[in-house]
Amino acid sequence: MVEKLAVEGGTPVRGEPWPRRVHIGEAEVNAVMEVLKNAVEDPGKLWRMGGLETAEFEKRFAEFYGSSFAAASSSGTASIHLALAACRFEPGSEVITSPITDVGTVTPILFQNLIPVFADVDPETLNIDPDSVAERVTEKTRAVIPVHLSGLLCDMDPIMEIAEKHGLVVIEDCAQAHAAVYKGRMAGTIGDLGCFSLMAGKHITSGGEGGMTITDNEGLWRDTMLFARNIFTPWAQVHFDIRFPVLNYRMTELQAAIGLAQLPKLPGIVAARRRLCEKLASSMTHLETVRFSKVLEHTQPTFWFCMLHVDTDSIKVGIDDFAEALRMEGIPVAARYTVVPMYEYEFIASRQTYGLSKCPWTCRFYGKTIDYKDSCPNAAEALKRVLTLSLHENCTDKEVEDTVAALEKVEAHNKKG
């Protein structure tokens, strides 16, 4: 007899709380205190004009990834805005990206008066499909922003081939893919620029918020530094020369101090997540209605979260009820990643940007119309079938075993036939 589901009043698979992620410790506290002590004598040491931490964090971050240059900023969104601003594209240019991403990937495109174009995804990874990217390229296309969602790698070789063929800039969104590896190369070092988020929930943080943009192109780096107004720093070796409109996206010295303490922890964090997620993937192959996300060959993901794919045609309930049943068993899953593809978000669907102008879509420099409706059917369908699970470095084999047991139990109750 199959045990009664917890959602129906049965005993849950797991009674204890899910492990809390703990990645801030004495090293971060001591680093912040040192900056604050120095600021007692000179408050100017709290910002990069008077301090040393931000420049050092940029240096070490670039070294970690094997890049020539890094520019710190206030958020992951800002890191992408830096990259786009540095490219100095003409208004009305098109930028191809993923319809399954955070809004922070897309809004910098609009703020640069550029047109977001959405390529469809591989439904097994939810990352953009290179074939769809190739189909979306027009005479207006200037860049591609592949998003390494959840720490899974986009298939970069064909994307780079498309970019080379058409003279496009590639800006990798690595917000969820710290230290992920594609065919021996770190995510963020394959394209022209790599952008990282350092908010509190990412693999590492710089004090709740923060971002970093890396590149081997000195000219692009100089303009990212200028756009963030990092250029106040004398040792950046960039002249203070406002050649185009800039913003203040500077990282504070307190943030950078935390980032410096966090960076050495990244390899261990990544290794622990890989081990747990690989164990989960190998432990659930017998299930008939749920499977682990596809991992491309010759890649090493870093699993900001796990994606589980549900064959909704083979279960009696919808994805939301399936997720709720698992949560009641003690497994903290969520249905979908985003509810709908990015182009269905209200501000894009209704062109709510600059007042009532509907810019940049109505910009005379664009001179085209674009219809996003139903443009990425794989993305729309895949979102209806995905569960997300946080299996972080403070979890153990017990969490993997409980997840599999809960999946087995919920599947047994809900499988058709």
Q: Which domains does the chain have, with CATH numbers?
A: 26-264 (3.40.640.10)
pLDDT in tens, 393-403: 999 999 999 99
CA angle 387, 390, 15 (to 5 degrees): 95
Q: What is the model's pLDDT at position 240?
A: 58
Q: Above pLDDT 70, what percent of the chain?
A: 97
The strand order across the sheet containing 290-292 reads 290-292, 306-310, 386-389, 333-335
CA angle 395, 399, 404 (to 5 degrees): 145
Contact indicator for 245, 26 with CB cutoff of 8 Å? no
SS3 of residue 213 by DSSP:
strand
Q: What is the DSSP string of 303-330?
A: -SSEEEEE-GGGBSS-HHHHHHHHHHTT
| CA dihedral sign, ordered 101, 249, 203, 328 | negative
Q: Can you read off the two tokens belonging to residue 103?
A: 């809004």
Q: Residue 357: is it exposed, middle or buried by C-beta count within 10 angstroms (0-12/13-18/19+)?
A: exposed
On the question of pLDDT at 338 being above 80, the answer is yes
pLDDT-wise least confident of 48-52, 77-81, 167-171: 48-52
Q: What is the model's pLDDT at position 235?
A: 46
Q: Can you read off the two tokens belonging to residue 416?
A: 């058709």
On the question of pLDDT at 198 being above 70, the answer is yes
SS3 of residue 415 by DSSP:
strand
pLDDT in tens, 346-366: 999 999 999 999 999 999 999
Q: Above pLDDT 90, what percent of the chain?
A: 92
Contact indicator for 379, 129 with CB cutoff of 8 Å? no
pLDDT in tens, 86-107: 999 999 999 999 999 999 999 9
What's the residue count for the chain? 417
Q: What is the DSSP string of 46-93?
A: GSTTT-SHHHHHHHHHHHHHT-SEEEEESSHHHHHHHHHHHHTPPTT-
Q: Is the peptide bond before 360 cis (omega within 30 degrees of 0)?
A: yes
On the question of pLDDT at 191 being above 80, the answer is yes
Q: What is the model's pLDDT at position 233?
A: 52
CA distance 56 to 256: 8
Task: Count other Cβ atoms within 10 Å, centred on residue 300.
Answer: 18
Task: Count other Cβ atoms within 10 Å, centred on residue 307.
Answer: 23
On the question of pLDDT at 259 being above 60, the answer is yes
pLDDT-wise least confident of 41-50, 97-106, 257-266: 41-50
On the question of pLDDT at 237 being above 60, the answer is no
The residue-averaged pLDDT of 63-69 equals 98
Q: What is the model's pLDDT at position 1?
A: 58
The residue-averaged pLDDT of 207-228 equals 95
Distances (CA, A) of 247 to 18, 209, 244, 346, 359: 41, 17, 10, 26, 20
CA distance 335 to 121: 18
On the question of pLDDT at 234 being above 70, the answer is no
The residue-averaged pLDDT of 184-195 equals 98
On the question of pLDDT at 329 being above 50, the answer is yes
Q: Can you read off the two tokens belonging to residue 363?
A: 């910009």
pTM greater than 0.85 = yes
Q: Can you read off the two tokens belonging to residue 386?
A: 């995905």
Task: Count other Cβ atoms within 10 Å, centred on residue 355.
Answer: 7
Q: What is the model's pLDDT at position 59?
A: 97
Q: What is the model's pLDDT at position 105?
A: 98
Contact indicator for 296, 155 with CB cutoff of 8 Å? yes
Mean pLDDT, the chain, rounded, equals 95
